[in-house]
Structure 1
Amino acid sequence: MRIKRAMERIPGGLMVIPLLLGAFINTFFPDLLRIGNFTQQLFVDGSGTLIALFLLCTGAQINLRSFGVSLAKGATLLTVKWVVGAAFGLIAYLLAGPDGLWLGLAPLAIVAAMTNSNGGLYVALVGQYGKEDDRAAYSLLALNDGPFLTMVALALFGAMGFVEGMFSIKDFISVLLPILVGMVLGNLDEEMRSFLAKGSDMLIPFFAFALGMGIDFAKIVEGGLGGILLGIMTVFFTGTAGYLVFKWFGWNPIVGAAEGSTAGNAVATPAAIAAANASFASIAPLATVQVAASTVTTAFLLPLYIAFLVKRLERKAAMKK
């Protein structure tokens, strides 16, 4: 059986399928894996530890040796992505109803999904439409993997009085230390970076399943349509913003649009945020499934949007001739 290949045919399948399977078991057979010892520690209670190890492996992929145009492009993409995502998150907090939702979306999900991007999709799109320095910009974009930029936005909102609870320095360090340890190891030793890169992919289905074991299936239904809307927002708002900024700088605008996605690893962000600040614990399950739905939506929609933009540029170039 080619289980992995079958899962990969679904965008974000290595994350989405285990998450849904865990949620299904938790909803209909909640005590099936809650039998103690290693089984429960891995499949039910292990999400925090697995996510921490995942963040360490991810941090090792951040290459501090990238300079020049690649660094400028990466920093621009990172900034645009964060500003747009944080802005929509702030709007969501300001306009949220009594249930804490805006348009059915958890503000935490908006920030987590819109400030994070699918690196594999970016590399694939840029490999087709970009240049070598565009691909090299990915090394800096690894900074938007995980909860760091989401925590920065939420901390700012808290300081402005829009979010209950603040992150202390200790909270930041407790979440960021695995990333920093990985970053140091990866930059000191290229072989260590390659070794830890394997862990990034391998851990995703396991922590996704454990996260699913904390989700009621009713929440999947509740968050599904909202997650699709979140994916559409991510593609058209963050992708278009990147397109326009790159066009303004005189760079290939298609590369800017290629950041308009949500990565599968963003599904871990709500849980990481809730672990650092308990005030987010009640909304984390709904935010998790909405981010998961956004991941699938953007994986389907962004390549279509990129194809539309490419044809649009080709028509304009033909008209000038």
Structure 2
Amino acid sequence: MKIKSTLNRIPGGMMVVPLLLSATINTIAPDLLRIGNFTQALFVDGAGTLIALFLLCTGAQINVRNVGVSLGKGAVLLSVKWLVGAAVGLLAYMFAGENGLWLGLAPIAVIASMTNSNGGLYMALVGQYGDKTDRAAYSLLALNDGPFLTMVALSIFGAMGFVDGLFSVTAFISVLLPIIIGMILGNLDGEMRDFLNTGSSMLIPFFAFALGMGINFKAIVEGGLSGVALGLMTVFITGTAGYLVFKALKWNPIAGAAEGSTAGNAVATPAAIAAASAGFAANVEIATVQVAASVVTTAVLLPLYIAFLVKRLEKKGVRLPEDYSTDEKAAS
């Protein structure tokens, strides 16, 4: 029985399937796994611990030693993704209704989805349409994994008076510390980075299942269509912004558009944010579902959007990646 290969064929399957399975269990038989001891500790109450370990493993993959063109591209990708996502998130907070939602979307879901990107999808796309410097740029773009940049945006909005529940310094550090420890370990020892890399993917279905045990199926119904809309916004707003900025800088615009996605790890961000500050706990359930829907939507839609953009460039006589290659410049 090929469980893993089947899950891999489903966009975001390693995260989405366990999440929906446990949400179904929680809706139909909420006490089924709440029987105490190791079963409840792992499958119901373990989300916080598993996410913390996931953040440590993810932090170990962040390489801080890249320089040159790759560093510049990575910095631009990271900045565009965060600025656009944070700007839309700010609009969501400013125009949110009494229920805390904007057009049915939880603002925290907007920021978590639109400031985060799927590294595997980015690497697959630039592997086909980009050069070495485009691929190496991901080491800096990886900084948008997890809740760190979402927390930065929320802290700024809190200082501006738009968001209640501003983080204390201690709460901020408590979420950031696992990432920092992982980053230190990964940069001190390449073998440790490789060792922890396995945890980055292995932990996703387990914390997704535990997160699902806090979700009622009613939230799936409420968050599904709005989550798809969030995915559309992520692809067409952040992806197009990256495309236009890279084109203006005379870099391969396809690499800029390739960050218009949401990674599976972003599903943990609302819970991590709520753990740091209870002021964000109200819409965690629907935000988690909306982020999950955005993960699936962007995984399916972004490659189609990239194919459309590539055809447009080819009609103009552009050859990818040759006409935008900066490999030789980076080596000189």
1:210 Cα deviation after fit: 0.1
- In structure 2, what is the equivalent of residue 88 of structure 1? 88
Map residues 235-274 of structure 1 onto 2, 5 A cutoff. 235-274=235-274
- In structure 2, what is the equivalent of residue 117 of structure 1? 117
Map residues 277-316 of structure 1 onto 2, 5 A cutoff. 277-316=277-316
- In structure 2, what is the equivalent of residue 28 of structure 1? 28
Q: Distance in 2 between matches of 1:100 and 1:283?
A: 8
Moved more, 283-292 or 93-102: 93-102
Which TM-score applies when normalising by structure 2? 0.95
1:165 Cα deviation after fit: 1.3
1:171 Cα deviation after fit: 1.3
1:16 aligned onto 2:16: yes
Q: Distance in 2 between matches of 1:44 and 1:55?
A: 19
Q: Distance in 2 between matches of 1:167 and 1:245?
A: 32
- In structure 2, what is the equivalent of residue 175 of structure 1? 175
Residue type of the partner of 1:239?
Answer: G
CA RMSD of aligned residues (A): 0.6
Q: Which runs of 4+ in 1 moved over 6 A?
A: none
Map residues 1-321 of structure 1 onto 2, 5 A cutoff. 1-317=1-317
Q: Distance in 1 between matches of 2:64 and 2:102?
A: 38
For residues 61-106 of structure 1, give each alpha carbon's deviation from its aligned partner in whole angstroms, at most 9, with x where no partner exists: 0001111000000000000000000000000111111111111100
Q: Distance in 2 between matches of 1:257 and 1:40?
A: 42
Q: Where do 5+ consecutive residues of structure 1 fail to align? A: none
For residues 131-181 of structure 1, give each alpha carbon's deviation from its aligned partner in whole angstroms, at most 9, with x where no partner exists: 001000111111000000000000011111111111111111100000000
SS of 2:316's partner is: helix
Q: Where do 5+ consecutive residues of structure 2 fail to align? A: 319-332
Q: Distance in 1 between matches of 2:55 and 2:288?
A: 17
1:317 Cα deviation after fit: 2.1
SS of 2:317's partner is: helix
Residue type of the partner of 2:49?
Answer: T
Q: Distance in 2 between matches of 1:65 and 1:150?
A: 24
Equivalent pairs counted in the alignment come to 318
SS of 1:317's partner is: coil
Identity between Structure 1 and Structure 2 (%): 77
1:238 Cα deviation after fit: 0.2
